[in-house]
Every structure is written in C-alpha cells, then in structure tokens.
Amino acid sequence: MRATRPPQAVQPLRLPIFPTPLKSGAGFKPEHLDAILADSRKVGFFEVHAENYMGEGGAPLAMLERLRADYPIFLHGVAMSIGGEGPLDREHLARFKRLVRRYEPQVVSEHLAWSTHDTAFYNDLLPVPYTRAVLKRVVRHIDEVQHTLGRTLLLENPSTYVTFNDCEMGEIEFIREVARRTGCGLLLDVNNVFVSATNHGFSPESYLADFPLHLVCEIHLAGHATEADDEGKPLLIDAHDRPVSSEVWALYGQVIATLGPTPTLIEWDNDVPEWAVLKAEADAADAILAAHATDAHPDLRHAG
Amino acid sequence: MITTRRVFSAAILASAVTAAVSSLSVAPAAADDGKEKCYGVAMAGKNDCAAGAGTTCAGTSKVDFQGNSWKYVDKGTCTSMMLDGDRKGSLEPLTRDIPA
Amino acid sequence: MPVERSVEAAFAAGLLDPSVSVPVQVKGQTPRRYAVYRNNVTVGLVRALEANFPAIRRLLGEAYFAGLARQFVQDYPPRSPLLFHYGANFPAHLAAQDDLAAYPYLADVARLEQLWRQAYHAADAPTLAPEELAGLDEAAMADLRLTPHPAFALLASPYAVHAIFTANRAAGAAVADPARPEWVMLTRPRFDVIVKPIPKGAHGFFSALASGVTLAEAAEQGFACDDSFDLAAAIRLMVEAGAFQSLSLRATP
C-alpha cells in the first residue's frame, strides 16, 4: 500500500519498522500512557495530532518517542488548512516535516477543510465549497505537502453542517478528482459520512457506494452528538465525545465487507474516558475486521 | 568609559563556587524523576504533565451562550482572597516551597 | 467599491462575531447550522485559554473566566496552531480590565502560567554538572560565563505571584497577603517544570548571568539588588535547579 509503506531511508533508521496494522488503533491521549504501557494486549497503532507535538522538546515529545518504540504511529494534521484560500504556512509545513523525520510515522493524513484565514487560526475544520477554483488550490496545496514531506498524504472526507450555493460538483467527485490529480490516498471517516448524510439529507449507503474505496488506506470512527437544526430536524455534531453509534458501526461493517481489513482509528477527543473504555471501542472494530479478514476484494487492494 | 569594578576577586568567586558545589551531596536536578512521573502512575490526576491547550478535529456539543452579562458573575477565589480572608484550608502547601 | 469578498472571508467574518449575519453563500442561510461552526470555534478557543491559564480560571471563577476569555478570543484569535502558546498577550489583557483593578496580581500570575508552558515545551538540553564548576582553576573564575538552559526563565513581581500560582494550580488555600514582592525562577532539567521562589539578590544575579556577563559582574549585580545576597547559596540553587546548561571562559562576550 502506497501510503503505509515504510518511509524512504534518508537517514539510517533507528526506529522499529512495523507492517501495516490491519487492526484498530486509538487516538493517543497522554493521560492514557501508563495504562497503555501496562496493557498486555496491544492495539494496532496510535494516532496523534501533529500540532500537539510541535513544541521544541520536553514531555510530549518524550512520550511520543516512548510510544513509537512499541507501536506504529499515524500522524494526523489538523491545521494545515489545505482547503484555505491563502498559501500554506511554510513554517508549519517545516515543523510537520521535522515530525515526520523524527518519528517516521506509518501514515500521514490531513483534512479537506480550512482552519486559518488571513492570520487567524480558528481551531476548527471549516467547510470548503466544491468548485473548480477550490479544487485547483487544494490540489496545489496537497502537491506542496507531498513534495515537502516526501510522503503520500491521506486526505480525510469532512463532516459538514452547511453547504454552499455555488457548488460545481459533489463532494465525492471533488475528492476523486483531488486524488486523481495529486496521487494522494484517502482516509475515510465513516462517522463524518453519517453526520454529513444526516445533516444534508442524503443516503450514507449511496455515498459509500460512490466513494473511491480503492484509495482508502485508513478509516476513522467516532461518536457524534445530536442537536436540532433551524427546522427542528436532527443536526449531528461530530463531537468525538461518546461511543461510536450503532448506525456508524453498521456502515463500517459494510465498508469492511467490501474493502477488507483496513487500519481503523477510534477517535475520542472530548470527555475522554479511561483507557479501558476507548480500548473496548477498538476491540469492537477489531471484531468486525476479524470477521471480514478473508473478504478483501482483490480489485480493491491497490498495489504500491 | 565605564570600567566594571571587580569587587569580587577570583579567590572569593572560587570559594563561593567550592562551597556551593561541595554542599551538593546528591546529583543535581537532571535526574530521571520527571520521566518517571510522566510515565508512571503518579502522573494521573496531577498537572505536572499537562501540556496546556491542544488542537481539535472534533466539534463540540457544549453550547456557548453569547450573552454579555458575564461582567457581573461570580469572581472565583479572587474575592475570597481579598475580601473574606477566608482561608479555605491550610497554608502549609504555600509555605513548604519556600527555601530554608 | 470594495472587491467582493470570497466565501472564506465571508465565512470567517462571523465566526467570532455574533453580530455578523450568516454568509449569503451558505445554502438556505441557516443560522443554527452556521452557529455550529461559531460555537465550535468559540468554545474550542475558550477551552484552549482555560487549559493554558488554569490558575487564572480558578481565581476568576468559571463563568467570569469564560466571559473574559470569549472577549479575548474575539479580539485576539490565535495566529498559530500551536495552541499551547496561545494567550501570550492574555496577561496584558487582564491588566487592562477596569473591573479587575482590585486584583492587580492577576497579570503576573498569568505571566507565570505562560512562562510555565514555555518551559514545559522548551528544547531539551543537558544541565550544568557541579563537576564542571568544581574543576575550574581559581584564575579562570573571573571570566566565567554561563549559558542558560532553554527552559530557564525568571519573573519578578510586586505580588506574591508564586504563592498565588501554587495555590491555584491545585485546589490550594487562599493567599492571605498577595501584596508582597516575590522573585521566581523556572527550570526544567528533564520533563517536570520547577517553579521556585528565590531571593531578590539571586534574581538579580541569575538575570545578569543569563544576559551573558561574567560571574564576577553578575555577583556584583546580586549585591546591588540586595545587601544580604548569598553568592554561594545562589550558585548552589542554580546548579541544583538546572538553570544553566554550559559554561565558557572568555574575557569578552
């Protein structure tokens, strides 16, 4: 798999090389480190937000280094603002590159979203209109990221609460075209699909049937909250603050039945529970992965 | 031109350094305690390893009410510190950090 | 006529300003839907300040802090995604609040919280070993200079900033007499930040040493600050706490 092969050896490797974990993993929270190291049953991998490890030194980097000795690390950027109209922040990209060099992550991913406008960083994944002009700049930004890092990037589908008037194509057409032009891989967030489908009234099953699954190298699962929109209809919030919903588990099962075992992350970022609770979610994903261990559709397993 | 007054002779400096260093009976602070604490059980519930704010890729279900009435709400421990003089507990945690 | 604003500019304009209406480019101009983004951004950044200034939050109380923080994020949204550095001008913002004039120590407590995080995330470096000092010739002493450790910082305050900081980072007791001066040193030999109240003379001595002057000149500065300055005790303190990383012997900087 393109996106999960070991990094090019620009310097002698001093970190263990792991095979692609066709298992579940968890979003790493520093408060879980003791429990993780004491746990005799290992998860497949840990994923971290790149930005939280961009300090100069100290405990965060030491903790990540400790974790990296035992586990594959997936590096997930949340602030590159790939969908933004301004140029990429070169300093930020350079910091990202230092992390890739230092920790040799198994997977590097980012979002189809923007988070910076002018000089303000909003710390949220804000939506992009699906137009040809936006497509062009997203392609330009991903090219720059992949060229700078020397790595294939996985792009994650967003969860959205609004749509725009002047869209020139659908989300899947947009994502498919970005992948075609940049050669990037895809990170399929099944909860995001369910959240957006509910919020905008489309069928998540149809979305997944159209989605270019052959480019998917990682899956995200998370819990969402339910609010009401302007007309009193359900408005789902991608809150990552509770267990994965039964609807999302069902969709995930369908995806894995088609795609075969794929690294799957459980995200839990607000009201973070103790490690055992998060681990139980990862176990639930593993049960589905194991049930479909032999289901890999040969046409969908793209070669590297 | 200002000339620095060498009030301190090399001998005085050397004796101060010697006194300081010889009184350090144990290894200085560069021990592994911090690592142990961050990797050890002691970390849980303590703020020693709290890094400050992190990024998020999630939304929130907590609603922030955009009111402007915040200027008149409760002022936390500031008020008790200045007005009540109400010491909610012992002063021991405050004094034990002061070097002897 | 101004150029028509981009979708992104229109979308960004209302994220932190509730008086701005939903961007016209948003389909259906649905306020509750756009409000999800407003809420995510506002709550997310207010939480970032809460995480960065826990002592200030406790001092002000949750509701008052949230209101003040909301105003701050509207006026000064972060300019970097490294949120653990967010709020560098929050201390000055606190100092400028008329409502808080009765609590003049707040800004310095916030400065100490900011310094704490900078120390926590500072680069790793070795600390000066006592043997390095012990091995020096007496003749070399006058030209001795020290390089501060990356995590080293000092704070001088007319208020009991260390006592208030310590009491409010955990659930400590109220500080009875905040209006007394304190001098504070921050170090981080490995991973844990050490916040230590130090004597006035030691503050002057370390401050001078960190600026690159010789040991002799710094010692002079220590005495200039405080007649009762104890040079040997200060040297011991700095070595123990890991304030400096290396030494050099040169007559001029």
Kindly report, residue by residue over C57-89, the tens digit of the pLDDT.
999 988 889 889 999 999 999 999 999 999 999
C57 and C161 share a domain?
no
pLDDT for B80 beyond 60: no
Contact B57 A52 (CB under 8 A): no
User: What is the ipTM, given to two decimal places?
Assistant: 0.93
C130 and C176 share a domain?
yes
Q: Give the one of B41, B49, B57 whose C-beta lies nearest to A49's C-beta.
A: B57
C90 and C197 share a domain?
no
C40 and C72 share a domain?
yes
Identity of residue A165: N
pLDDT for C207 beyond 50: yes
Mark which of C75, C103, C131 sits at the end of a domain: C103
pLDDT for B70 beyond 90: no
- Helix extents (H) in chain A: 33-38, 59-70, 90-103, 132-149, 171-182, 190-200, 204-210, 246-259, 275-291
DSSP, collapsed to helix, strand or coil, labels residue A69 as helix
Interface membership of B96 toward C (CB under 8 Å): no
C115 and C229 share a domain?
yes
pLDDT band at C10 (very low <50, low <70, confident <90, very high): very high
Q: What is the pLDDT of residues A211-235, one digit of tens each?
A: 999 999 999 999 999 988 888 899 9
Q: Are A230 and A41 in contact (CB under 8 A)?
A: no
C238 and C117 share a domain?
yes
Q: Give the one of B38, B51, B56 whose C-beta lies nearest to A269's C-beta.
A: B56
Distance, CA of C215 to CA of C235 (rounded, Å): 10
Give residue A288's pLDDT. Answer: 97
Interface membership of C20 toward B (CB under 8 Å): no
Whole-number mean pLDDT of chain C?
92
C218 and C119 share a domain?
yes
Distance, CA of A212 to CA of A202 (rounded, Å): 18
Kindly state the tokens that stand for A163.
């749509």
Give residue C208's pLDDT. Answer: 98
C98 and C112 share a domain?
no
C88 and C129 share a domain?
no
Mean pLDDT by 10-residue block, N- to C-terminus, for chain A (304 residues)?
46 77 95 92 97 94 92 97 97 97 97 97 97 97 98 98 95 98 98 98 97 97 92 93 97 96 96 97 97 67 42
C175 and C210 share a domain?
yes
Q: In terms of DSSP bridges, do strands A154-156 and A107-111 run parallel, antiparallel, or are they unpaired?
A: parallel
| DSSP state at residue C217 | H
Contacts of C96 (CB under 8 A, 6+ apart): none
Distance, CA of C223 to CA of C205 (rounded, Å): 8
Could you tell me the residue range of the domain that residue C249 belongs to?
Answer: 108-253
Q: Over the range B22-58, which residues count as b (16 or more CB within 10 Å of their CB) and which as e?
A: eebeeebbbeeebbebbbeeebeeeeebbbbbbbbbb
- Helix extents (H) in B1-100: 10-22, 33-39, 76-79, 92-95
Least confident of A133-137, B37-41, C48-52, C163-167: B37-41
φ and ψ of A3, to 5 deg: -80, -10
C69 and C151 share a domain?
no
Q: What is the pLDDT of residues A109-159, one digit of tens each?
A: 999 999 999 999 999 999 999 999 999 999 999 999 999 999 999 999 999
Contact A123 C41 (CB under 8 A): yes
Contacts of C28 (CB under 8 A, 6+ apart): A230
Interface membership of C221 toward B (CB under 8 Å): no
DSSP, collapsed to helix, strand or coil, labels residue A28 as coil
In the block, tokens 């139980």 appear at: A280
Confidence (pTM): 0.89
C116 and C98 share a domain?
no
φ and ψ of B66, to 5 deg: -85, 40
Packed helices C231-241 and C200-210: angle between N→C axes, nearest 10 degrees: 60
pLDDT for B31 beyond 50: no
Give residue C181's pLDDT. Answer: 97
Q: Give the one of A123, A159, A161 whose C-beta lies nearest to B56's C-beta.
A: A123
Tell me the domain boundaries of chain A: 2-7+19-300
Please state the domain count of chain C: 2
- Residues A2-7+19-300: name the CATH superfamily: Divalent-metal-dependent TIM barrel enzymes (3.20.20.150)
pLDDT for B98 beyond 70: no
Whole-number mean pLDDT of chain A?
92
Q: Is the dihedral of CA C50, C53, C54, C59 positive or negative?
A: negative
Give residue A303's pLDDT. Answer: 39
